[in-house]
Amino acid sequence: MSTDPTSMTRRTALAGACTLCAVAVTACATGQASQNGGGPVRVLRAEIDIGSATVFPEHRILVTQPSDGVYKAFSAVCTHQGCAVTDIDGDVAKCPCHGSKFRLTDGSVAKGPAQKPLPERIVSVEGNTLTIT
């Protein structure tokens, strides 16, 4: 066995490769959305148009106003593989990863591959502010 500190053994090379793989997997995982684990989220009512929705990616939530003064909120984490639902197209929210679509009225699946609806959140109205928990 070599005593040269700059020589690399197969074991050292394998350990380095495993470390690189772990770093890569961690980096990929942080690109996917996870459930909002913080406290209540507050947004202005004016940010959500009637019959549409707004995605708040920093909070991983989707807030809709299906009819005047009625607000609903859902997790913006796709139930298929955890990507962030990012786009609103008419009456659906779209996941860019695999094409799942969710209805803005109730979070149900409009088009797969997702099989489960977006989890609903509780919305309370306080003046011009919506609080989502």
Domain of residue 88 covers: 41-132
Q: What is the CATH number of the domain that holds 111?
A: 2.102.10.10
Instruction: Provide the whole-model pTM.
Output: 0.69
Residue 5 lies in a domain: no
Residue 12 structure tokens: 């050292």
Residue 11 lies in a domain: no
Domain count, the chain: 1
Burial class (CB in 10 A: 0-12, 13-18, 19+), 132: buried
Residue 82 lies in a domain: yes
Residue 15 lies in a domain: no
pLDDT tens track for 94-131: 999 999 999 999 999 999 999 999 999 999 999 999 99
Q: What is the mean pLDDT of residues 30-39?
A: 47
Residue 24 lies in a domain: no
* The pLDDT of residue 57 is above 80: yes
